[in-house]
Structure 1
Amino acid sequence: MEDLKTREDFTAALDASAVDGMTVAFWASVAPDRQAVIDPSGRVKTFAEVNANANKLVRTLRKAGLKAGDSVALLCSNRAEFVETLAATQRSGLRITPVNWHLTVDEIAYIIKDCEAKALVAESRVAAAKPAADESPDLLIKLSVGGDIDGFTNYDSALAEQDGSDISDPVRGNQMMYTSGTTGRPKGVFRPQAQVIPPSMLSLRGYDPETSVQLCAGPAYHAAPLAFDVSAAMNAGIPLHFIDKWDSEHVLKTISEKKITHLHLVPIMFQRLLALPAEVKARHDISHVQYVVHGAAPCPPEVKHAMIEWFGPVLSEYYAGSEGGAGFAITSEEWLKKPGSVGKRPMLLEVRILDEEGNILPPGVPGGIYHQLPPAGAFTYFKDEAKTNANRRDGFFTMGDVGYFDEDDYLFLTGRNAETIISGGVNIYPQEIDNELIKHDAVADSSTVGIPHDEWGEQVRAVIMLKPGYEPSDKLAQEILDFGRQTLAAYKVPRGLDFVTDLPRSEAGKIQRNKVRAPYWEGRARQI
């Protein structure tokens, strides 16, 4: 890499390795002893070790009968095996679906079956792994990580039998993330071909394989940490420090002591870091941080101002979704000139602001945000043509958000589909909750909404209409919430409940959730 030609050759070889999913193999060849993953426990794996295990896992899965195009479900916390499984699927033509391991047995089993998984890699700490696997008869192989699970093959034992050398026939794999819909069950965002971004483009974010260090402080199964933390570190050939549970001072200490240069956060993490005592902040040097990317949830302007003042102008905000589209991004310098914006109108794919009739609205007038579908590789909701068609309009799709462009073509978000609650950066879909609460004997109708919360942005609240013969009481409210807790993941369970005598409905009979929500937000702008 001493002269320009050598640097060009290096870059060309790196980008070529991504085409068939062998980026980790490339880094293992040029920097085998470099740290690749550092677990929360302190366990360290080098690029050579991660690459060897990825090859061994490919051979293990092929031995079980999997072939290119088949699906692998990954039920695993932030640890090295997550990266190894991802690297294995990327080079074997397999499609990976990371699963939120906080979900219930029924929810996990649904995703395993719906994504048509032929293999499940699950961590022993996840109690739901075995019962969910038991409900999934099409699995050809089940591997347990971090310990044994009854009926599973131990991950380490299985890999120990295989050769760790690079496979000779790599095929680029794919991934399918799940995003819930307003009708209840989550849906896979499916693309027939994987999106391949040249790893060399990461240099635009200031990545340097010799000096950069990545932190993943959020769950790797979420799309943003998976893209901005895990995949970025794998492609840039830099160490990835995993944190498994948020602790503000521990995160700040890790940033300081491990010389973290790049990380992805969400606004609630900003707020918790900012809430640390001044003397704690002063103890930890953060001058080496070069790039903090954030999105996934609204960020109050005063919070972002405070973070820029503390960390410097290193924040980069994005607005995008699992469905894709052009995406928006805005640097700290731009944002300070356009506070509240999520970025300028993209150059490649068009974005339109439309009214309910589909007319394009002028600058300054809010409307539905519609993103142009790419000419090739457009997504569909897996096995759900109706849902796919429902968000399309003339070659554009919407994620349900509302906003406007200003006179300089900067996008400002003003609201979103009433069906979606964002609490602490996590999307929660109220229909899923209503579908469970309505099963309680006392409940005639339910309309779950998001209400204001200073720390989380929104908090889940159930609004219940009772059947005749039942009277509102604190005891009954708690009973209904406990009932929901039996089937709902903990973060979806409403934090409170209100009784009403009537719920507003449209002429078509659909609950008008925006009207249910409105009184809670009276006098307070609902940010996006």
Structure 2
Amino acid sequence: MEQSAHLDTFARDHLPLPEQWPELLLDNPDIAYPARLNCAVELLDRAVEAGHGERCAVWSNREGERHATSYRELQALVNRTARVLTQDMGLVPGNRVLLRGPNTLDMAVMWLAAVKAGLVTVPTMPLLRAKELKQIIDKAQIAAALCDVRLAEEIESCRTPGHEHFCATLKDVRFFHHDAPDSIDVLARAKAPEFDACDTASDDVCLIIFTSGTTGAPKGCMHFHREVLAICDLFSRHLLKPRADDIFCGTPPLAFTYGLGGLLCFPLRVGASTVLIEKLTPDSLLATIERFRATRVFTAPTFYRQMAPLAARHDIGSLRSSVSAGEALPDATRQAWKQASGLEMVDGIGSTEMLHIFVGSAGADVRRNAIGKAVPGYVVQALDDQMQPVPPGMPGKLAVKGPTGCKYLADERQAKAVRNGWNLSGDTVVIDEDGYVFYQGRADDMIISAGYNIAGPEVEGALMQHPAVAECGVVGVPDGERGQIVKAFVILAAGYEPGDALVSQLQAHVKQTIAPYKYPRSIVFTDDLPRTESGKLRRFALREASVSLASSAAA
């Protein structure tokens, strides 16, 4: 490793032991970076140097009107904010700083400024509560937080002595999107618009993103400056082929690696622009595409499914590509969006541990029902329990190597996530002879019923092909006779009414679409499905709901 620029060495000190690291594939001309680099400089300052200074970097809404922030203006905002962090707050390279805010220009400025100052950024989802924030703050030993003032309540609980979620390490909280004298906004206005970036090593940690923690304590995934650039120069460059005249938009939060890449790093890397708007709905996302003439859109399958029937109301002809990730993409959703937009979806599978998408295909390389192939720079295999490759066409554990990889912050679960140099994503897949990856489901979400292995997403995909189904989630629930049975939670499309007749119709449809033994023996109609802030279906919540219902019925 290179000589670190961090004065606070916590992040490097708490990387996994060398023998627990994944094998990093760095011998690639696409990612031949110098030993010392700061990714904020490479994303922003280099764009200004390349002549993009007067081009729009960030589009946003301001008092109902479109507002453009140029690259030169963004650079000045970032530099002034970096001065606040180092001069007024006294932060030094290597300090961890919590970031808390929705998708706004302010949030983008906070991340870029902190990275440029050599700090380790810890972005968090806006909806997290004090209990969840405390887990992160304590684990990462965070000393300072930068928070949108509209989200002040939960973070204030974490710095209030005597409060059950008080965090002793959290010494300073500063607010933005605020006009108080000590707010970041006001302090930054008085600063000079120049700032000398921290001379960070390419393998200095700049980002710790915590997993959702739905199955236990959240895991902190640590990533280097060079890895932020690698996702731009591999997935984005090879599959999206972005241009300086592109306009990116979408829904994933900047606190989610999918959003940080797709809505900030990818566009900045090529001198393009991004649209940052909070609280989008399927209809307002379509309106945003039309209003800003967006060319690239990133969102989850659920949004595409809901946008497809609404697309005809909007002019979305500016779109060049649409990217889906975050959860399995049903073929019915892919086809509905293709019919509505004329675009072949770029589907992808990635993870917080790998930073972004590592399997995907675009355009003519798309194969129906497959996610795609390994992104250039990555290799993937399907392995058995003994870490041996399974034959093509057989299900196995998805294993991946590339220039990014799993490096948990002081976490014993590292040994399970990385074996023999391979990153194990926790997914079950089939890889065919041509290298196409077919998603089967999360390894811990596989349903075993009467000795059969059944992938919930496959059953969901079959159900979604029926016109009565708007959305659905499928899980396995305990059964005394079969071990588990397949249970489906279904949101009905407009014009359909729940009832036994429709249950039988949906069951028959699944039997005719996929192997009959995979059909849902139980179907529950619901008005809503539990999802994470990033749009992923919370299957564990469906399982818990089923257990609760069964317990209540037994009582």
TM-score, normalised on structure 1? 0.71
Q: Which of 284, 288, 304 is the aligned partner of 2:318?
A: 288
Distance verdict in 2 for CA 1:19–1:94, change over 3 Å: closer
Amino acid at match of 1:309: Q
Q: Which of 363, 388, 404 is the aligned partner of 2:414?
A: 388
Secondary structure at the aligned position of 1:195 is classed as helix
Structure 1: how far apart are the matches of 2:307 and 2:123? Answer: 28
Structure 2: how far apart are the matches of 1:158 and 1:450? Answer: 57
CA contact (8 A) 1:142 1:153 kept: no
Distance verdict in 2 for CA 1:200–1:418, change over 3 Å: closer
Q: Which of 219, 240, 243 is the aligned partner of 1:208?
A: 243
Q: Which of 174, 177, 189 is the aligned partner of 2:209?
A: 177
Kindly indicate whether residue 155 of structure 2 is the aligned counterpart of residue 129 of structure 1.
Answer: yes
Distance verdict in 2 for CA 1:264–1:383, change over 3 Å: same
Q: Which of 276, 279, 294 is the aligned partner of 1:242?
A: 276
Kindly indicate whether residue 189 of structure 2 is the aligned counterpart of residue 160 of structure 1.
Answer: yes
Kindly indicate whether residue 435 of structure 2 is the aligned counterpart of residue 409 of structure 1.
Answer: yes
CA drift of 1:396 comes to 1.3
Alignment of 1:45-124 (within 5 A): 45-63=69-87, 64-124=89-149
CA contact (8 A) 1:39 1:243 kept: yes
Kindly indicate whether residue 385 of structure 2 is the aligned counterpart of residue 329 of structure 1.
Answer: no
CA contact (8 A) 2:54 2:72 kept: yes
Kindly indicate whether residue 53 of structure 2 is the aligned counterpart of residue 32 of structure 1.
Answer: yes
Alignment of 1:371-450 (within 5 A): 371-372=400-401, 378-384=405-411, 386-418=412-444
CA drift of 1:75 comes to 0.5
Amino acid at match of 1:223: T
CA contact (8 A) 1:57 1:159 kept: yes
Secondary structure at the aligned position of 1:351 is classed as strand
Structure 1 stretch displaced more, 386-395 or 231-240: 231-240
CA contact (8 A) 1:308 1:332 kept: no
Secondary structure at the aligned position of 2:216 is classed as coil
CA contact (8 A) 1:21 1:171 kept: no
What's the counterpart of residue 488 of structure 2?
452
Secondary structure at the aligned position of 1:128 is classed as helix
Structure 2: how far apart are the matches of 1:189 and 1:329? Answer: 22
What's the counterpart of residue 227 of structure 2?
195
Distance verdict in 2 for CA 1:137–1:334, change over 3 Å: same
Q: Which runs of 5+ in 1 are unaligned?
A: 1-11, 431-448, 457-489, 503-528
Secondary structure at the aligned position of 2:371 is classed as strand
Secondary structure at the aligned position of 1:369 is classed as strand
CA drift of 1:28 comes to 3.8
Structure 2: how far apart are the matches of 1:347 and 1:303? Answer: 26
CA contact (8 A) 1:289 1:314 kept: no
Structure 2: how far apart are the matches of 1:35 and 1:224? Answer: 22
CA drift of 1:181 comes to 4.9
What's the counterpart of residue 21 of structure 1?
40
CA drift of 1:259 comes to 0.8
Structure 1: how far apart are the matches of 2:380 and 2:191? Answer: 49
Structure 2: how far apart are the matches of 1:27 and 1:347? Answer: 24
What's the counterpart of residue 519 of structure 2?
none
Distance verdict in 2 for CA 1:123–1:346, change over 3 Å: closer
CA drift of 1:282 comes to 3.2
Kindly indicate whether residue 178 of structure 2 is the aligned counterpart of residue 139 of structure 1.
Answer: no
Distance verdict in 2 for CA 1:395–1:31, change over 3 Å: closer
What's the counterpart of residue 9 of structure 1?
none
Secondary structure at the aligned position of 2:187 is classed as helix
Larger relative contact order (CA 8 Å, sep ≥ 6)? 2
Kindly indicate whether residue 328 of structure 2 is the aligned counterpart of residue 320 of structure 1.
Answer: no
Structure 2: how far apart are the matches of 1:44 and 1:159? Answer: 19
Kindly indicate whether residue 329 of structure 2 is the aligned counterpart of residue 299 of structure 1.
Answer: yes
Structure 2: how far apart are the matches of 1:352 and 1:282? Answer: 41
Structure 1: how far apart are the matches of 2:545 and 2:109? Answer: 41
Distance verdict in 2 for CA 1:450–1:212, change over 3 Å: farther
CA contact (8 A) 2:179 2:186 kept: no
CA drift of 1:162 comes to 1.9
Distance verdict in 2 for CA 1:450–1:114, change over 3 Å: farther
Structure 1: how far apart are the matches of 2:373 and 2:39? Answer: 33
Distance verdict in 2 for CA 1:186–1:387, change over 3 Å: same
Q: Deviations over 1:18-71 (max 9, x none)?
A: 755313123345333332223344454322222112112222221223222221
Amino acid at match of 1:369: L
CA drift of 1:404 comes to 1.2
Secondary structure at the aligned position of 2:125 is classed as coil
CA drift of 1:154 comes to 0.9
Amino acid at match of 2:149: S
**Aligned CA-pair RMSD:** 3.5
Amino acid at match of 2:284: H
Distance verdict in 2 for CA 1:500–1:455, change over 3 Å: closer
Amino acid at match of 2:438: F
